Amino acid sequence: MLNFRQIKEWKYTGTAAGVAACTAVGYLLSGTKVAGLASFADISASGASGLPFAAAVFLGSLVRSIISGGVGHNIVKLSSLALIMIIKMFLEPRNDPKFSGINTAVSVFVSGAAVSAVIGELVQKLIFYGFYGGIAGFTAYSASGIINGFRKDKVIDLSGKNGFSGAVLYIVLVASLCSVKLPVLNAGIIAGSAVTLAGAYFFSRAGGVICGSLTVCGAFLVSDSSGMSVVLLPAAALLTGCLHKQKASTAAAFFTATSFIMTVLTGMTYTGFESMIDIICGALIFIPFAAHFSDKWISTGSGSSDMLPDVINARMVFLSDTVMELRMESERISDMLAKSCDAGREIEENSEAVCSSCYRRPFCWKSDRGNTYRGFRRLAEMPETVRDSFPEELADCLRKKELSEAFSRSSQEKAAAKLMDLRFSESRGLLHEQMKITEELIRSAGERVDVRYSETVSRSIRKKLEKFGITPANVIASYNRRGRLVAEVYFSAENAPEESTRVCDLAADELHLRLESTEPVRTGREVRIRVYEKPKYSMEVCAASSCAGGTGDNGDTHTVFTDGCEAGYVVLSDGMGTGSEASLESRMVVGMFRRLIMGGVDHTSAIKLINSIMVTKSGDESFATLDALKIDLDECELTLIKSGAAATLIRHRGNVLKVTSPTFPIGIYEQSEAYIHSCGFDEGDIVIMFSDGIYENAYPFIKELLLGGDDLRHIVGEICAKAEVFNPTIHNDDVTVIGVRVTG
C-alpha cells in the first residue's frame, strides 16, 4: 500500500490535486448565478487555467449538468468550455493572461451566437453574449494574471493594478458562493465574513473595510436581501481593525458582537439576524486559520515601499561613483608627482642656482643657449663616478666646480626619490586596490535584493523574544524569491545571546514553522543571528585528509557552512608548503572568507579583501590557494570559485567534467585573480574537490570511481588513500579530498 509520504513525494501529486480541485470548481460553480444570470465563474476559471485544468473544469460542469438534467439549458456554457479547450490545445501561448482573456471572451461570444442562430434569436442575443463574453474574458484575464504571479514569485500580489484584478475575482467568487443552495447557511457570506475578519486582523482597518465592501458588492449581485444582510460588515471590520494586536479569538468575538449590536441599533433585524449564523461560522473558521496565516502568500506592498530599494540603490551607486572618482584623482596626482623630478626641472633649478650671479649668463643662455643646454643635460645624465670629466660644451664655463656640486646634490636627491618611490609604489597600488574594493562593496550593497520584507513577521518575532527576556535591537524578516522565510535578528554586543538555538526555537514556536539558524556573526558593536526555513535541497559532504611525511600538521584547511539566505558553501585552502606554517595561511584564508560571506560580502569582493590583507600582513612571502564551491539550495545551481586552486571534477548526468582555473593563489600580487564558473548541476550529482597533493595522473582513477558508484564516503576515502601511488615525485604534499552531493 502507498503511504502518505510516498503520495506526497510522487512528482505528479500537485497536478493530480489541481485537476481534482478544478473538477470540483466546475461542478460547484456550474449551477450558480450572478445578477440573476448563469454565473460565468466556471468559464473564467477554465479560461485562466492550463489545458488539463480547463478540461477538469469542463468535466465537473458536464457532470453537474447531466445529474441535474440541464444539459440543454447549459448548452452555451458547455460549448464555451469545450471551445476554450480546443483553442488552448492548438493556439494558446504559455502563461499569457491577455490571450486567456481573449480566448474566453471569443469562446463565449461564438458559442452564444451559434446557439442563438440555431434557435432563431441571433439578433436579440448577440449584444448580450458580447457583453457576457467580455465580462467573462476580463475575469479570466484577471485570474490568469494572479495565477501566473503566484507561479513565478510564490505570492499572491495584490499591490497596484493586481489589486483591481484581485477585487474582481473576489466579488465574482462571493457572488457565486452566495448563490450555492445550502440548507440554512450561505456559503458566500460565511467566506466573506471570514475574509473580512482576516483583512481587519492582519491588515488593520483599511484591510477590513476593503474586504467588507467587496463582500457586500458580491452579495448584492445575487440579491438585495443577501446584500442588505451584510451591509454592515465594513463598519464592523473598521472597529475590529483596532484589535489587530490582540488574540485572534478576541478579535473574532469582538467582530461577531459588533455585527450583532450594529444590526440591533440600526433596526435591520429583519435581514441582519438571518446572516448572524453565517457571520458566526465565518468567525469560527477564522480562528484556526489565523494561527497558520502568513503574509508569505500575500503581498499588498504600496508604491512608496517599492521605491525604497530604488532610492537606496541610487544613493549607493552615487557614493560608489564618488569613491571611484577619488581613486582616479589620486592616481592622477601620483602621476603628476612622479613626473615632477624630470631632467628638465633639474637643469632649470641648477642653472638658476649657479648661473644667476655669473656675468656670462646672457651669453651662455641667450647667444649660445642650445650648446649650453646640451652640456647641462650631459652633466645631469653623467654617473656620479665620472662626474669629474666635464662636458665639452661647458669647457669655457667659469663655475665648473659649483655646477658639479649642484648636479651631485640633485643626483643624490633623485636617487633618494626613486628609492622612496619604489618603497611606496606598492603601498599606493594596494591603497588604490582597496579603494576599488570599497567602491565595489558599496555598489553591491545598493543592488536591489529580490526579497519581500514582512513587517508582520518581524513584529511577531520581536514580541516573542521580548516576552522571554531577549531584547533584539532590530528584526528584519523577508521572503526570498522562492517564498522561503529568512529572518535576521540583530543584537547589541552586550545583549547578544551566546548561541542562536534559543532564538531559533522561540521564532519557530511563534510562527509554527520548522526553522534553522546560522551561528552568530559578530562585529565590534553588533551580533546578527539569521533564522530561516529549511531550503528544498541540502548538502552531503564527506572529507578525508593525510599529512606529508606522516607529520601531525596538515597545511590544508576546509570548512562547510550556509549563509542562511539561499547558498551553501564548501571552502578548501592549501597553504604554501606543508605543516603548521602552511596551516596558518590556509586557516586565515578560510576563516576570512567565511566571515566576509556571512557578513554579507559577495564572493568576488571577499577574495579581493583577503588578497589585500594577505599581501600586506607581513614582509615574508605568504600565499594560499582558495577553492570554494557555492550551491544555491533553492534552485540546485552550482558555482565554482577558484584562486590558484587545483582542478575540480563534477559528475553530472553520467559524464565527468573537469574544471580548471589559470589563476594565481591569494597573496602573491596586489590585484587578486579569481576564476568564477557556473555549471549544470542536479540532485544526486557529485563534486570532488582536492588540494595540490592530488596529481593530474590520478584523474582517470577518480573518474572511474565517480562513474562506478554512489558511495560518497568510499569515493573520497579511495582517492585520499591512493594519492601517494599517483605521486610522480619523491616529495610528498599534504592531501585533502572533499566530496559533495546535493540531496532533496
What pLDDT digit, counting tens, does each position of 15-34 carry?
Answer: 788 888 888 888 888 877 77
Is residue 429 very low, low, confident or very high in pLDDT (cuts 50, 70, 90)?
A: low
Residue 621 in this model has a pLDDT that exceeds 90: no
Residue 328: predicted pLDDT: 61
323 vs 428: which has the higher pLDDT: 428
**Residue 435 contacts residue 608 (beta carbons within 8 Å):** no
Of 93, 88, 87, 81, the closest CA to residue 56 belongs to 81
Q: What is the DSSP letter of 389?
A: S
Residues 236-291: pLDDT tens digits?
999 998 887 788 889 999 999 998 888 888 776 555 566 788 899 999 999 998 87
Residue 309 in this model has a pLDDT that exceeds 80: no
Q: What is the DSSP letter of 482?
A: T
557 vs 443: which has the higher pLDDT: 557
**Residue 211 contacts residue 23 (beta carbons within 8 Å):** no
Residue 360 in this model has a pLDDT that exceeds 70: yes
Mean pLDDT over 435-440 rounds to 68
**Residue 320 contacts residue 442 (beta carbons within 8 Å):** yes
Residue 341 in this model has a pLDDT that exceeds 50: no
Residue 4: predicted pLDDT: 45
What does the alpha-carbon distance between residue 343 and residue 346 come to, in Å, rounded to a whole number?
5
Mean pLDDT over 190-207 rounds to 89
| Cα dihedral: 250, 252, 256, 258 (round 10) | 60
Which cell goes with 671? 590585484
**Region at 364 (left for phi over 0; alpha for psi -120 to 50; beta for the rest):** alpha
Residue 6 in this model has a pLDDT that exceeds 60: no
Residue 91: predicted pLDDT: 75
Of 600, 579, 460, 589, the closest CA to residue 530 belongs to 600
Separation in Å, CA 61 to CA 40, 67, 81, 133: 12, 10, 9, 18
What does the alpha-carbon distance between residue 338 and residue 332 come to, in Å, rounded to a whole number?
10
Residue 660 in this model has a pLDDT that exceeds 70: yes
Cα atoms in the Cβ-side hemisphere of radius 13 Å centred on 111: 21
Mean pLDDT over 607-636 rounds to 79
**Region at 184 (left for phi over 0; alpha for psi -120 to 50; beta for the rest):** left
What does the alpha-carbon distance between residue 15 and residue 3 come to, in Å, rounded to a whole number?
18
Lowest-pLDDT range, 282-296, 410-424, 475-489, 642-656?
410-424
Lowest-pLDDT range, 211-215, 319-323, 448-452, 491-495?
319-323
Is residue 428 very low, low, confident or very high in pLDDT (cuts 50, 70, 90)?
A: low
Q: What is the DSSP letter of 246?
A: S
CA 43 to chain CA centroid, Å, is 37
Residue 8 in this model has a pLDDT that exceeds 50: no
Mean pLDDT over 559-572 rounds to 89
Buried b (16+ CB within 10 A) or exposed e, 475-512: bbbbbbbbbbbbbbbbbeeeebbeebeebbebbbebbe
DSSP annotation string for 588-623: HHHHHHHHHHHTT--HHHHHHHHHHHHHHS-SS---
Q: Which residues contact 46 (CB under 8 A, 6 or more apart)?
A: 26, 53, 54, 57, 58, 81, 84, 85, 104, 140
308 vs 379: which has the higher pLDDT: 379
Of 630, 731, 615, 730, the closest CA to residue 666 belongs to 615
Residue 79's SS3 state is: helix
Which cell goes with 288? 484556526
Residue 213: predicted pLDDT: 92
Residue 493: predicted pLDDT: 83
69 vs 309: which has the higher pLDDT: 69
Residue 30: predicted pLDDT: 80
SS3 labels along 269-281: HHHHHHHHHHHHH
Buried b (16+ CB within 10 A) or exposed e, 405-425: ebbeebbeeeeeeeeeeeeee
Residue 687: predicted pLDDT: 93
Residue 2: predicted pLDDT: 45
Residue type, 337: L
82 vs 94: which has the higher pLDDT: 82
**Residue 520 contacts residue 529 (beta carbons within 8 Å):** yes
Burial class for 595, CB neighbours closer than 10 Å (0-12, 13-18, 19+): middle
Is residue 576 very low, low, confident or very high in pLDDT (cuts 50, 70, 90)?
A: confident
Cα separation of the two ends of the chain: 23
Mean pLDDT over 494-522 rounds to 88
**Residue 515 contacts residue 532 (beta carbons within 8 Å):** yes
Which cell goes with 116? 442563438
Q: What is the DSSP letter of 674?
A: -
What does the alpha-carbon distance between residue 456 and residue 471 come to, in Å, rounded to a whole number?
18
Residue 541's SS3 state is: strand
Burial class for 313, CB neighbours closer than 10 Å (0-12, 13-18, 19+): middle
Residue 235 in this model has a pLDDT that exceeds 60: yes
Residue 304: predicted pLDDT: 42
Residue 1: predicted pLDDT: 42
* Residue ranges in 446-530 assigned as alpha helix (H): 455-467, 501-511
Residue 505: predicted pLDDT: 93
Residue 56's SS3 state is: helix
Residue 337: predicted pLDDT: 47
List, in sequence order, every residue forming a beta bridge with 525; answer none if it has no partner.
none
What does the alpha-carbon distance between residue 161 and residue 8 come to, in Å, rounded to a whole number?
36
Mean pLDDT over 616-638 rounds to 80
Separation in Å, CA 560 to CA 150, 361, 523, 542: 34, 78, 21, 10
Buried b (16+ CB within 10 A) or exposed e, 7-39: eeeeeeeeeeeebeebbebbbbbbbbbbeeebb
Is residue 187 very low, low, confident or very high in pLDDT (cuts 50, 70, 90)?
A: confident
Residue 311: predicted pLDDT: 47
Lowest-pLDDT range, 93-102, 190-199, 502-511, 699-708?
93-102
pLDDT, averaged across the chain: 79
Kind and range of the H or E element at 527? strand 526-533
Residue 39: predicted pLDDT: 79
Residue 635: predicted pLDDT: 87
Mean pLDDT over 663-686 rounds to 83
Residue 377 in this model has a pLDDT that exceeds 60: yes
Percent of the chain at pLDDT > 70 equals 81
Is residue 448 very low, low, confident or very high in pLDDT (cuts 50, 70, 90)?
A: low
Residue 730: predicted pLDDT: 64
